A and B are shown apart, each in its own frame.
Chain A
């Protein structure tokens, strides 16, 4: 069993679990608005899980709770053995820098840093020496076939290149979990597909990925498991066969020029 979801009523602990949400609720405006309502979810190592739902369903809130960017109003969140509920801001920051990589819809690259410097930031935050961080970043840029733009600034890159840089940045600390929040939302469809194939390829190499999207085709086309949210609650959880598998070789085959 790759993962268990029981509609927020039951939580099955497994030894291979990477993410465990137990009866998680998140309310705003003095509980007037419930973004998450008793969500229980377990994601195991190596899964590619897509969280899907319409706007306002709570999918981004769920992602933020897993990322330690938002705190649940109730329930318990454990990721990679780390209890996030009640953790200090500093502890959450350390958790983010070592255990997760974040890929955003709008890339969120630092405009005053070069590509390689952007990729190096999380490594340096984690205490990696500059030379070692540079070597790792360079390797990732090479693997993602954007080595040629390492000295460029984000604003001089195409959307696809920017998202590759963001992916490289997310991977540099070898995170246990990559969180991708609408990673294709700011890209044209062709480039978006290529980015998703890249995520597929990463997953093929064992990287656990939690993807948030409102796009059904994207969720079903790439996720091995699709969790549907509505009004803050899980309404469906299905494991599916992907329509297409990216070979590891595609990591380098998807050149920057194609994006």
Chain B
């Protein structure tokens, strides 16, 4: 054992370049692997902790107080399967104004933040105790134009009067980003809501939270929901209940999305590291052929030779992983910490022993396995040959490419360098794949951002062609609301909508059915595939709904809306972002066919060019207290997330590029060392140092070209997989058809050359400085 350790230590001291390559690449891979695994395993942890702490509700029912009584609701607490529920809380959606900004807030009566179910955590201030006080959920400026702050005084505007309320507390709201549209929530003390609503005709509702014995999956939640619904009068629900899974997914969607991308990249990073290490060890075995032969002659067994080789790799791999794992864990706190801050929870410890030790061992085992094959080759070293020849059999393959280029008149440095690229085919292949992986991620980085941006830049394609949203409240009629909106000089076009829950056979949850009145096609809506509806009975379905209900273009689907069956033919599929990828959009006449008394309550407004949106919303809101007007935020809210994702992808691509560059560095270093006599000969024949460097660079450029041919298709495949996965999660359909245009390909190839040349730069300089006399003398 002592002899093995001596050999390992001596080799480590001598081969610092290889040591550095293995340590640095394993550091990067271990960091990314730790980060991705931590996110995948623990992305829900902050929310789950908060949910457990709050004894959060599995389902929150939203009910019409005119159709169900508090007593009837109270009776549901003892239904089978219900483990905890209530209390029944009066609630209503009221328009609030704060300066020029206005928007709807769901106001809930609640005596205190505690209780058996759905306990609330105060982030700042105190719970409202007096008249005209309210606590608000911590809002996201990106999701709403009206975000009250602690200490603000804001006006609740109804048809009968205006009430000024002071924000005395800010609360963390587990449902702040649920998939039901995330209307901001606020709480007032018991009895306050009646005062706010006064004599207005705003519909009073109830909010009722439930916990169930079995509520882990959508199917279990659907069964729980049916139990409660069966105990309620028909039509008691104003909208589908909010499930805890939706709340959680809404809160964590960004971390989930980023975690998936990081996971894919970390897998790539590990593969690249395995290839680089295999290449390093293979080169080491060739360079140390004589030493291994001597070692065997001295009495080392083949197993001991394998131990020497793998030991040389294990030490830097351990060093890299020991640094990389904590770095990755530390990076994960950035993502987990953001969620924790929203929920007023301490940032979870970045240390997860299982993950950290698992990555540490996993990376070391991978490196050892990568070293094993060349190590076995070393173990088979022919002692006599090694001692007498002093080196392993040299690669002397015909260079068809080099000959071809020289024949074409290419500069000798280019022709000879290009010809050397595959002199060691196995090593070159390992380098090509390692670099190819880097190029694949580069391709992904260059194509994913623009694909996402295209979706964002074309709001009409995902269901948000409007500039402003207007909600009609109280006793203002549809005709009056429409007149007020169209009378404003800034209004260009109006689409009136009404959204109702639609039950689909075979689906546990109701889907939103949005009936649209007006010239929707002219308004700018476009489906992602198929066409926009043009006749009653036709529908454009949300992609998630279509996927889950197995609907394709041309299919017919029966839905139940308000007790009436409606048969719809799917003519288009859309990225219905406002509805989280769900539901059916239909022409107004389609709804009128089954519910002729329904009227629109939400108006989507397109403004004339040059109209100031803020001024418009303030002007329109001033015309009637029963209009909730706000700027449409669908167009802007995604930009910070897109930028964030782009930064993450950029960082990961850099990591992969560094690993790839390390691979090229290793290959070029080995090649220049092995060909040191050829280089010295060429220098003696008159090749200048610059030409020698160019020769080494040309070799790596050929590798880059081949790697690009491998990497670009892998990158496109990765783009397809990740966009499809994100599509499944968020109901988006990415159009990636035009992502790989000639400019992108040129950029990727330029990037490939940059990575290859960066990796080859130093060995090329060393090669250029080869001391000819010394080398040729030592022949």
Contact = CB atoms under 8 A, between A and B. Distances in A.
B421 to A, nearest CB: 11
A259 B177 CA distance: 88
Given A69-B772, A104-B681, A117-B406, 11 more contacts: A60-B777, A89-B688, A90-B689, A96-B685, A97-B685, A102-B684, A108-B779, A109-B681, A110-B416, A113-B402, A153-B396
A67 interface: yes
Contacts of A126: 686
Nearest to A97: B686
Interface in A93-148: 93-98, 102, 104-106, 108-114, 117, 120-122, 124-126, 129-130
Given A105-B779, A111-B394, A124 B685 contact: no
Given A112-B420, A121-B412, A125-B412, A106 B685 contact: no
Interface string B75-107: 000000000000000000000000000000000
B678 interface: yes
A93 B683 contact: yes
A236 interface: no
Interface in A72-105: 89-90, 93-98, 102, 104-105
Contacts of B776: 69, 104, 108
A96 B409 CA distance: 21
A89 B772 CA distance: 12
Contacts of A102: 684-685
Nearest to B683: A93
A45 interface: no
Contacts of B643: none
Interface in B407-456: 407-409, 411-412, 415-416, 419-420, 423
Contacts, number: 101
A169 interface: yes
Interface in B660-685: 677-678, 680-685
Given A60-B777, A90-B689, A129-B409, A108 B402 contact: no
B399 interface: yes
B217 to A, nearest CB: 63
17 contacts: A89-B688, A90-B690, A93-B683, A93-B686, A93-B688, A102-B684, A108-B680, A108-B684, A111-B396, A112-B397, A112-B399, A114-B403, A125-B686, A125-B691, A130-B406, A130-B409, A155-B396
B558 interface: no
A112 B684 contact: no
Contacts of B681: 104, 108-110
**Chain B, interface SS category:** helix
A97 B403 CA distance: 20
Contact of B688 (A67, A94, A124): A94
Nearest to A133: B406
Contacts of B686: 93-98, 122, 125-126
A97 B685 CA distance: 5
A124 B406 contact: yes
A247 interface: no
Contacts of A188: none
B652 to A, nearest CB: 38
Contact of A93 (B396, B406, B423, B687): B687
Interface string B743-779: 0000000000000000000000000000011001101
Nearest to B405: A130
Interface residues of A, number: 37
A10 interface: no
Interface in B87-134: none
A61 B677 CA distance: 18
Nearest to B420: A112
B420 A96 contact: no
Contacts of A60: 773, 777
Contacts of A98: 686
B412 A64 contact: no
A104 B683 CA distance: 13
A251 to B, nearest CB: 22
Contact of B684 (A67, A89, A109): A67
A111 B396 CA distance: 5
B398 interface: yes
Interface of A: 60-61, 64, 67, 69-70, 89-90, 93-98, 102, 104-106, 108-114, 117, 120-122, 124-126, 129-130, 153, 155, 169
Nearest to A175: B686
A200 to B, nearest CB: 23
A215 to B, nearest CB: 18
Contacts of B690: 90
Given A69-B684, A112-B419, A93 B689 contact: yes
Interface of B: 394-399, 402-403, 406-409, 411-412, 415-416, 419-420, 423, 677-678, 680-691, 772-773, 776-777, 779
A114 B399 CA distance: 9
Contacts of B677: 108
A80 B776 CA distance: 24
A155 B394 CA distance: 11
A75 B600 CA distance: 101
A121 B682 contact: yes
B423 A106 contact: no
Contacts of A106: 779
Contacts of B409: 129-130
A105 B777 CA distance: 10
Contacts of B689: 89-90, 93
A181 B408 CA distance: 33
Contacts of A122: 685-686
Residue from B678, B681, B683 with most neighbouring chain A CB atoms (10 Å): B681
Contacts of B395: 112
Residue from A67, A93, A102, A169 with most neighbouring chain B CB atoms (10 Å): A93
Contacts of A64: 772-773
Contacts of A97: 685-687
B688 to A, nearest CB: 4
Nearest to A98: B686
A113 B396 CA distance: 9
B403 A169 contact: no
A93 B689 CA distance: 8
Residue from B396, B416, B684 with most neighbouring chain A CB atoms (10 Å): B684
A124 B684 contact: no
A180 to B, nearest CB: 13
A112 B407 CA distance: 15
Contacts of B399: 112-113
B685 A169 contact: yes
Nearest to B399: A112
Residue from A67, A97, A104, A125 with most neighbouring chain B CB atoms (10 Å): A125
Contacts of B403: 113-114, 117
Residue from A69, A70, A94, A112 with most neighbouring chain B CB atoms (10 Å): A112
B398 A112 contact: yes
A120 B403 CA distance: 11
Residue from B402, B412, B423, B773 with most neighbouring chain A CB atoms (10 Å): B412
A64 B419 CA distance: 29
- Ranked nearest first, the 5 interchain pairs of A and B with the lowest CB-CB distance are A97-B686, A111-B396, A93-B688, A108-B681, A96-B686
B465 to A, nearest CB: 63
Nearest to B769: A89
A69 B772 CA distance: 6
Contacts of A155: 396
B689 to A, nearest CB: 5
A70 B687 CA distance: 15
B412 to A, nearest CB: 4
Contacts of B682: 110, 121
A129 B407 CA distance: 9
Contacts of B415: 124
Nearest to B681: A108
Nearest to A61: B773
Nearest to B394: A111
Contacts of A61: 773
A93 B687 CA distance: 6
A81 to B, nearest CB: 17
Contacts of A95: 686
